[in-house]
Amino acid sequence: FFTLISKLLVQPLCELCLAQVCCSLDSLCSRRADGSMFLRWAPLFPQEIADQLLGKMAATGILNDTTVGIFRNCKELRLRRASISCCPVSAEAFHLALCPHRLQELDASWVSGGLTGANVVSGLAANMECRSSLQRLSINGLHLDWESLVEDGRVPVGFSSLQGLKTLILANTDTNDASLEDICNLPQLETLDISCSGVSDLTALIKCKNSMKSLIIHRLQHLAMSPSRLLFVLGQLHALRHLDFSDDHFAVDDSHMREGDETVRQLLEGSSQFLPSLVSLDISGRKRVTEEAVQAFVESRTGLVFLGLLATGISSSDGLCSHEKLKVTGEANENQVCEALRRYRDRECFTREALVHLYSLTTDMDKPRPDMLQLVLSGMQSHPTSLHVHLVATACTFNLTTQDLAEAMPVSLLTSTVTQLLYAMKTFPNHHQVQKNCLLALCSDYILQDVPFDKYLAATLVINWLSSHEDPTLQRMAVAVISILVAKLSTEQTAQLSKDVFIMKQLLAIVQQKAMVGVVDSTLKFALSALWNLTDEVPAAARNFIECQGLELYEEVLESYYTEPSIQQKVLGLLNNIAEVEELQADLLEEDLLEHVLSLLQDTQVEVGVRYFAGGILAQLTSRPQGWTLDEELRSTILKQLHTSIMTWTRVEREMVSYRSFRPFCPLLQTCQPPGVQLWAVWAIHLVCSQNTSHYSSMLVMEGTTELLTALAAHPNTHSDIKGLSETILQMVEHQNHLEASSNQAEPRNS
């Protein structure tokens, strides 16, 4: 039990430490003359931790020629199982940082930066220890380029120089018959993957007849062997346990598949003495396989544990269900589809096929399935540039996270999923259905409110999408997403987003479109909320709003939606934001506008929320007598009505407003301000403090607002109504501070 608990605690702690090292690499390192990094001080890392650090750097995208330099220190950072998959590492950096280690495993699949298979093999072979220690090598997706070794005057070496190799992955490379001849000289070779390579003749495999246990020859387009010859060669592999002879069923040119299909037919219908050790066979994508042949094969192989039948059309065979221990990839049921997504993560053709069937299975999903969502996410991550994969995967994501399903998912999984959705929106900006699927998945209150992800990027992408689409349903969702996201941004991010006048114009166009027909719907409300949030404590955005003729439009909306408090609150809320900006107050000093706002303040039939925001505009504008350009009598009337009206407001239970800071209130709390202005400010602070005391108490203290309230409460000329509210707020703050102090004292301390 204690061993299990320690593992559970240590593993996450280790991951956190590695993540912190990755984040702090610049501060922990110095630079060599060639620009590469080295740790200024490095303890002797446990060997597994060194492997994990390299893997973490690769996974987080920071591994490159510069950072990989820390692993030139072979004494403290000893690598055994190294992975630099998909990282930009050059041949020189690879030789200097990785080749000196006594590696047991190396994954250099799809490495960019000019690294070739020849670079890898020659570099590893130069280390005499590696020649015997290296057991597993994966260079999937690399160009071999043996010729470069001759051109550079180096002694040509081949895979056979790495005598310890047991597993060799060469899928998607230019491996040819000559390379295969060399490979088959490896005395301990057990697993070989030459899928999608240039090999045309497999005869050389006979040299591995006693060691070869797993052979993966998916989609060998250049294979030029008759079925009888190929079966003869395969039949010599007495130790073979796994054979993958699958093919890409999406291939336009399937001429090469016919002989392969015939080979599969003969294999299935042949004697059980052929490949007697075989327990795993993958023939997915083979279109001409019959159900009878598969049935006969399964019945004759009692030890069979896996059969790949995806895209063959026969995975629903009744005979397969009776074998409980047999795992099958196919489309007949959930288990087969999920097994396909697990096994074929690196194969686009099968990932696409499995996702199509998963979509059908999840259309009416009513139970949370984080396991399925993880499979979908893995598929997208493995094929980041595949439109076909993302088209179906994003639809599956929506099915798996819709309604309340997302709330039962691990937050970290949702964060990764949303990050991948944003990547899809960025990668396929002009594909309507992908964008729609991503938008549908994002349009979730729980995801938008409670899941951490790059909300600034999300807002930017959704706004860009909105600019070129007018579908009413999708427009409503997009505006809803933008409205929520903007409210989650920091003031700095909001300011950055607001620099683009196009965003303001786009949202104002939606408001105008709705206002012209007098409609009240969620699209209008979300657009108004988004504009309100965009201008919150962002003077540049407020200025853009005015320059885009937003003020004229809002005056019309305010008058035409007189009986719609939800609309009026959002309009008045934005006008409050403008009124808080001293240099923009003059734009609001229009007699007709202020008289209309004053009428809302005075009307006892109007909701308190509307009267509150009306009062905020008037309090800000009347707080600066030097900036007042209208009739002085109007200002006096406003100040009088502010005090009179506010004293009639009843307590508001629901959250009506939230504030990023109390800075805009500071000018209104000065002891020299008129009572009406002071009263509105203290009433507003009292409102939010009573609803969320812990949050706003700390804000009041940090921003020095409590000092202003103390001065206001103590001043002899302060009105008793204002003094009473100020003292109540200060008591709330004091009580909250006392609670927090008591809580801190109650916490156990380390002795």
pLDDT of 255 > 80? The answer is: no
Task: Please enumerate in sequence order all residues whose Cβ is within 8 A of that of 535, keeping only pairs 6 or more positions apart, or say none.
Answer: 498, 541, 542, 545, 574, 577, 578
> What does the DSSP assignment read for 415-443?
HHHHHHHHHHHHH-TT-HHHHHHHHHHH-
469 falls in which pLDDT band (50, 70, 90)?
confident
Output the pLDDT for position 9. 43
Helices 608-622/632-646 angle, 10° precision: 140
In the prediction, which pLDDT does 2 show? 43
What is the b/e burial string over 681-709, where b = at least 16 CB atoms within 10 angstroms of the residue's CB?
Answer: bbbbbbbbbebebeebbebbeeeebbebb
Task: Calculate the alpha carbon distances from 254 to 243, 277, 287, 315, 559 in Å.
Answer: 21, 31, 10, 21, 69
554 close to 571: Cβ distance less than 8 angstroms: yes
Residue 151: predicted pLDDT? 55
pLDDT reported for residue 651: 81
Place of tokens 């260079």: 139
- Using CA atoms, how far residue 305 sits from 211, 239, 345, 657, in Å, is 21, 16, 20, 61
Is the pLDDT at 1 greater than 80? The verdict is: no
List strand residue ranges (DSSP E) for 150-283, in order.
167-169, 191-193, 214-216, 242-244, 280-282
CB atoms under 10 Å from CB of 660, counted, come to: 14
What pLDDT is attached to residue 535? Answer: 95
Q: Which of 17-26, 255-264, 491-500, 723-732 has the lowest mean pLDDT?
A: 255-264
Furthest C-alpha separation in the chain: 107
pLDDT at 318: 80
Q: What is the pLDDT of residues 542-573, one digit of tens each?
A: 999 999 999 999 999 999 999 999 999 999 99
Phi and psi angles of residue 46, each rounded to the nearest 5 degrees, phi first: -55, 140
pLDDT computed for residue 43 by the predictor: 87
Give per-residue pLDDT as tens, 671-709.
999 999 999 999 999 999 999 999 999 999 999 999 999
Is the pLDDT score of 108 beyond 90?
yes
Residue 743 binned pLDDT confidence (cut-offs 50, 70, 90): confident
Check pLDDT > 60 for residue 751: no
3 state SS of 281: strand
Alpha helices, DSSP H, located in 455-586: 455-466, 472-488, 491-498, 501-516, 522-534, 539-547, 550-560, 565-579
Say which amino acid occupies 589: L
Q: Where are the beta strands (DSSP E) in 602-678?
A: none
The neighbouring-strand residues paired with 296 are none
Q: Which of 101-105, 357-361, 737-741, 744-748 has the least mean pLDDT?
A: 744-748
pLDDT digit string (tens) for 431-441? 999 999 999 99
| Cα 203 to Cα 371: distance, rounded to the nearest angstrom | 42
C-alpha dist (Å) from residue 657 to 182, 534, 637, 678? 74, 15, 26, 19
What is the predicted pLDDT for the residue at 481? 94
pLDDT bin (cut points 50, 70, 90) of residue 251 is confident
The rounded distance, in Å, linking the Cα atoms of 9 and 24 is 23
The CATH number of 78-250+260-325, from 3.80.10.10, 3.30.460.40, 2.60.40.10, 3.40.50.1980, is 3.80.10.10
Please say if the pLDDT value at position 15 is more than 90: no
Place of tokens 């509210």: 725
Residue 298 pLDDT > 70, yes or no? yes
At 115 the pLDDT is: 96
Average pLDDT, the chain: 92
Percent of the chain, pLDDT > 90?
Answer: 85
pLDDT digits (tens, 9 = 90+) for 49-83: 999 999 999 999 999 999 999 999 999 999 999 99
The model's pTM: 0.87
pLDDT of residue 473: 83
Confidence class for position 4, pLDDT limits 50, 70, 90: very low
Q: What is the pLDDT of residues 381-419, one digit of tens each?
A: 999 999 999 999 999 999 999 989 999 999 999 999 999
Query: In sequence order, what DSSP letters do the residues of 344-357 get, joined into one string?
Result: TTT-HHHHHHHHHH
498-517 residues labelled b (16+ CB within 10 A) or e (exposed): beeeebbebbbebbeebbee
Distances (CA, A) of 741 to 269, 482, 547, 702, 733: 79, 39, 49, 16, 12
User: What CA dihedral angle connects 126, 132, 135 and 136, to 10 degrees?
Assistant: 10
**Residues written for the chain:** 751
Residues 87-96 have pLDDT tens digits of 999 999 999 9
